[in-house]
Amino acid sequence: MKAVRYHQYGSSDVLVCEDAPTPAPGPGQVLIKVAATSFNPADALLRAGHLRQVLALELPHVPGVDVAGSVAGLGAGVTGWAQGAAVAAFLPLTGDGAAAQYVLAPAEAPDAVPDGVDLIDAAALPGVGLTAWQALFEHGGLQAGQRVLVNGAGGAVGGHTVQLAHRAGATVTATAGPRSAERVRGHGADRLIDYTRTPVTDAGHAPFDLVVNLVPTSPHDSDALAALTADGGVFVTATTPPSADPGRGVRTVRMAVRSDAAQLSGLLTRVAAGQLRLDVAQRLPLPELPAVHAQADQGSLPGKTVIVV
Ligand SMILES: NC(=O)c1ccc[n+]([C@@H]2O[C@H](COP(=O)([O-])OP(=O)(O)OC[C@H]3O[C@@H](n4cnc5c(N)ncnc54)[C@H](OP(=O)(O)O)[C@@H]3O)[C@@H](O)[C@H]2O)c1
């Protein structure tokens, strides 16, 4: 099969589109014929070797933790999937990913893609949608009527976080730059802070019952963000933790997204019902993935990028 892989950690130049062995499903695994994957910032961190101390990869490695495609084979002991069923999944970070014609998923990872959801665009959902859901509800315990700050709402995770918080009945304050402001407002943000003009810590809308940080801040900036959390509130960071316990009964969570087929099912149902929008900035073919990594490294990706296989 064709796959984009890297044989060593490094810059985007290490990515090559080449022939690789087609995997065979072992016990407890599903073989998925890939329709699409999508780029996530973690793909670049893994490729550069920045996470190798905590997440050692077997090289060569196929990137791509999001997959949408169709069931092509079942390993021993796996039942319940028909050949050709449309599925999406968030794949384990350390296994081979979906920048290939076929990928293996643990049997518990995939969820059916319902009618009304474009299979290619579904590849934009798993990682960012699960991160948003888990930040708000699993870690943040969000309730209707609460005040939420989403720092980094212009990104792919942020867009889903704003939509889900708004739908849950929260009052949403969001930081977004000029290129994302209109989209974030359309997602239901009640108040926007243009972080390119006013630092969120100076914007004066605190306190918040829940602060979700999606920007790779310095520890000092994380401390300042945590200080915007109300007494007894929750500070959830998907990036940098604060350098110290903020006190005042503020609970701090440094989250790591995990696969959860039931949560993914709920998210896909929302997409099908028109309650959750997938913002796909561009669709590119598999051989373009090295260029996508290069663009991401330069900070010039235009938004969520889906890779069509
Ligand atoms: N821990 C976890 O489990 C987990 C899971 C998923 C993602 N993450 C991390 O979460 C972060 C966001 O992921 P993503 O997929 O949403 O990335 P993304 O789509 O690349 O979003 C990046 C966005 O951040 C915004 N931004 C940059 N600097 C900012 C600042 N100083 N203040 C406010 N917004 C700023 C920009 O939006 P504008 O267009 O508004 O300028 C940019 O579009 C990444 O660092 C990723 O690695 C962690």
215 CA distance to ligand 1 middle (Å): 5
Q: Which CATH superfamily is domain 2-124+280-308 in?
A: Medium-chain alcohol dehydrogenases, catalytic domain (3.90.180.10)
Q: Residue with the nearest Cα to atom 10 of ligand 1?
A: 214
Write the CB contacts of 47 (distance below 8 Å, at least 6 apart in sequence).
6, 9, 10, 12, 14, 15, 61, 63, 293
How many A from CA of 17 to the centre of ligand 1?
27
pLDDT in tens, the chain (309 residues): 999 999 999 999 999 999 999 999 999 999 999 999 999 999 999 999 999 999 989 999 999 999 999 999 999 999 999 999 999 999 999 999 999 999 999 999 999 999 999 999 999 999 999 999 999 999 999 999 999 999 999 999 999 999 999 999 999 999 999 999 999 999 999 999 999 999 999 998 999 999 999 999 999 999 999 999 999 999 999 999 999 999 999 999 999 999 999 999 999 999 999 999 999 999 999 999 999 999 999 999 999 999 999
Atom of ligand 1 nearest to the CA of 296: 20
Q: How far is CA 17 from the centre of its chain?
A: 24
Domain ranges of the chain: 2-124+280-308, 127-254
Burial state string for 273-286 with b = 16 or more CB within 10 A and e = fewer than 16: eeebebbbeebeeb
The model carries a pTM of 0.98
The domain made up of 127-254 has a fold known as Rossmann fold (3.40.50)
Q: Spell out which residues line ligand 1, taking CB within 6 angstroms.
A: 40-42, 127-128, 131, 151-152, 154-158, 175-177, 179-180, 195, 214-216, 238-239, 255-257
Q: Does the CA dihedral 15-20-22-23 come out positive or negative? A: negative
Q: Are 289 and 267 in contact (CB under 8 A)?
A: no
